[in-house]
């Protein structure tokens, strides 16, 4: 069973990069479910770009999804990631910062204010940087899997 049905392409205009061309040709010699297509969509999501065409922005603001892609008109707001991006962000940032605190404490044992001055801003910056990118990746994954919410 094909992951993408021909009716999935009716809203896509034919222009763009090679990956875009692959995704807009249902009868391409490259399988539609190929890992290359899926990874390209996830990378576009991480870049906060439309997973289908890579042209339009995924978010209207910081993490508010656009109603639809300004380039290819796929309905981005129908793919709802809920709390998953926040969970992944906490998981990643926690696994980067907590070992950092422990390693620094073990090696140098600095004053508490030094630890706080290093790790609190780093945690905040990493969280603010990663959250929209992870949300874009999750939206791209939902788009690849055709899971609308
Ligand atoms: Zn698009």
Residue-wise pLDDT for 5-21, tens only, equals 545 554 444 444 444 44
Q: Return d(Cα 13, Cα 143) in angstroms, integer.
A: 17
Determine the Cα angle at 67 with ends 62 and 71, to 5°.
95
Neighbouring-strand partners of residue 49: 57
> What is the whole-number distance in angstroms between the Cα of residue 74 and the centre of ligand 1?
6
- Split at pLDDT 50, 70, 90, the class of 40 is very high
> What is the whole-number distance in angstroms between the Cα of residue 23 and the centre of ligand 1?
11
- Split at pLDDT 50, 70, 90, the class of 28 is very low
Pick from 130, 8, 129, 143: which is nearest to 77 by CA?
Answer: 143
| pLDDT above 80: residue 1 | no
Q: Return d(Cα 140, Cα 46) in angstroms, integer.
A: 8
Based on the number of CB atoms within 10 Å of its own CB, is 29 exposed (0-12), middle (13-18) or buried (19 or more)? exposed
| pLDDT above 60: residue 116 | yes
Residue-wise pLDDT for 56-86, tens only, equals 999 999 999 999 999 999 999 999 999 999 9
> What is the whole-number distance in angstroms between the Cα of residue 90 and the centre of ligand 1?
28
> What is the whole-number distance in angstroms between the Cα of residue 144 and the centre of ligand 1?
13
Determine the Cα angle at 147 with ends 78 and 145, to 5°.
125
- Give the model's pLDDT for residue 33: 65
> What is the whole-number distance in angstroms between the Cα of residue 69 and the centre of ligand 1?
5
Interval 100-121 mean pLDDT: 96
- Give the model's pLDDT for residue 148: 87
- Give the model's pLDDT for residue 34: 85
> What is the whole-number distance in angstroms between the Cα of residue 111 and the centre of ligand 1?
50
- Split at pLDDT 50, 70, 90, the class of 26 is very low
- Split at pLDDT 50, 70, 90, the class of 149 is confident
Q: Return d(Cα 72, Cα 20) in angstroms, integer.
A: 11
> What is the whole-number distance in angstroms between the Cα of residue 63 and the centre of ligand 1?
17
């Amino acid at each position: 069973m094909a992951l993408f049905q021909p009716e999935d392409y009716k809203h896509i205009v034919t222009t763009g990069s090679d990956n875009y061309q692959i995704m807009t040709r249902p009868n391409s010699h490259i399988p539609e479910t190929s890992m290359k297509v899926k990874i390209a969509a996830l990378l576009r999501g991480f870049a906060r770009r439309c997973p289908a065409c890579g042209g339009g922005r995924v978010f209207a603001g910081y993490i508010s999804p656009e109603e639809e892609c300004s380039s290819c008109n796929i309905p981005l707001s129908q793919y709802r990631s809920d709390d998953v991006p926040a969970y992944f962000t906490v998981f990643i940032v926690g696994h980067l910062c907590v070992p950092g605190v422990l390693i620094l404490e073990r090696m140098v044992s600095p004053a508490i204010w030094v630890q706080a001055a290093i790790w609190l801003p780093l945690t905040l910056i990493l969280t603010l940087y990663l959250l929209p990118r992870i949300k874009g990746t999750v939206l791209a994954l939902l788009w690849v899997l055709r899971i609308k919410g």
